[in-house]
Amino acid sequence: MSLKPTILIVPGLRDHVQEHWQTLLAQELPNCVTVPPLEQDKLSCQARLDAIDRALETIQGPVIIVAHSAGCMMVAHWALRRARPIAGAVLAAPADVETPMPAGYPSRDVLAANDWLPIPTTQLPFPSILAASSNDPLTELTRARRFARDWGSRLVELGPVGHLNPASGHGPWPEAKQLISDLLRMIEAQETELATQD
């Protein structure tokens, strides 16, 4: 990749949490944009996808998406629009919105009424890495493995890291930078392979 990509942070439904690793990552990286929180229609999947599009309109050049929790589901839905090509995505601790989630999270019926269901099973049209926890209260590991298979993502199993949020002790998560670097290497390898086939 000749141009340095911009990192687009796609938070989950809780949007911007000050101690969250996505917030901290955005503060550390100079080439980083975060999808702004919604002021209304906060549970609407379509409103979330529109917010991703608006954020992308502000960015010139290649983009790497870094999504967490329900943000991963937003990316899977957004990819069906095929609105703008992106270079790739890191999808961390996807939230399984098809199964009942813990107290404090929207119910399956509410999510269904707001266009989150069904979860897309179409292969993503860009390289991706899915990072999954073995004890995530929002997604069983077997389901995360299925998402990775459906989306064509390289699966990275993180071990018992909960939902990878402040409630599970994250905070800073340096592995995010490593996964971005790994994704960039994947993209470069694919570009090299395509170039040799021409």
SS3 assignment, position 8: strand
Q: What is the DSSP letter of 168?
A: G
Closest CA to 67 of 134, 18, 22, 27: 22
Q: Go through the domains of the chain in sequence order and give each one's CATH number.
A: 6-197 (3.40.50.1820)
**Which pLDDT score, from 0 to 100, does residue 196 have?**
74
pLDDT tens, per residue, the chain with 198 residues: 556 899 999 999 987 778 999 999 999 998 999 999 998 899 999 999 999 999 999 999 999 999 999 999 999 999 998 778 999 999 999 999 999 988 888 999 999 999 999 999 999 999 999 999 999 999 999 999 999 999 999 999 999 999 999 989 888 999 999 999 999 999 998 887 777 775
**Which pLDDT score, from 0 to 100, does residue 94 have?**
98
**Which pLDDT score, from 0 to 100, does residue 198 have?**
59
**Which pLDDT score, from 0 to 100, does residue 14 have?**
81
What tokens appear for 72 in the block?
A: 């991963």
